[in-house]
Amino acid sequence: MKKVLLAIGFIALTGPAAFAQDKKAELATKPAAATTLTVDNLSFKTDSHNFGNVDEGSPAVHVFEFKNTGKEPIVIQRVQPSCGCTTPDWTKEPIAPGKTGMIKASYGTQGRPGAFDKTLTVFSNAGTKVLTIKGNVDKAPESSVPQNSSMMRTN
């Protein structure tokens, strides 16, 4: 009798796990949903922006606008800047066919005099697109920048 109860208990405990594994295998063999979207369906007005000369400390912000020229909604999954000096923002909700979305690039100019050339990689269900921002940060006059009064020396 103990053997029968032990066998029933074993089946009760392992049965759901076996079913879950069968379900996972079934899902793995199903083909992914086909999409007609391509990266070309992210139709940007322009994929690069030159700020020209920007004063140090001034905001350097540009909004890249795009239109969904596909037949399915486009979802921007994430936007990866090439460095921490650039902050992206983007349309979070799905962009329906024929509608527009945006990718905003904000470059931090404070303490970064000189030329810059940065990229933002846009990851979406339509593919990957690279946007570029560039320009030159003009160094602020010494009198407008707070002096470092710490005892530590900086180079």
Q: CATH homologous superfamily for 39-140? A: Immunoglobulins (2.60.40.10)
Map out the domains of the chain as residue ranges: 39-140
pLDDT value at residue 35: 79
Is the pLDDT confidence value at 18 over 60? no
Average pLDDT, the chain: 83
pLDDT digits over 68-83, tens only?
Answer: 999 999 999 999 999 9
Long-range pairs of 79-87 with CB within 8 A, sequence gap ≥ 24: 79/103, 79/120, 79/121, 79/122, 79/123, 80/120, 80/121, 80/123, 81/105, 81/118, 81/119, 81/120, 81/121, 82/118, 82/119, 82/120, 82/121, 83/118, 85/112, 85/116, 85/118, 86/118, 86/120, 86/133
Query: Which pTM value belongs to this model?
Result: 0.70
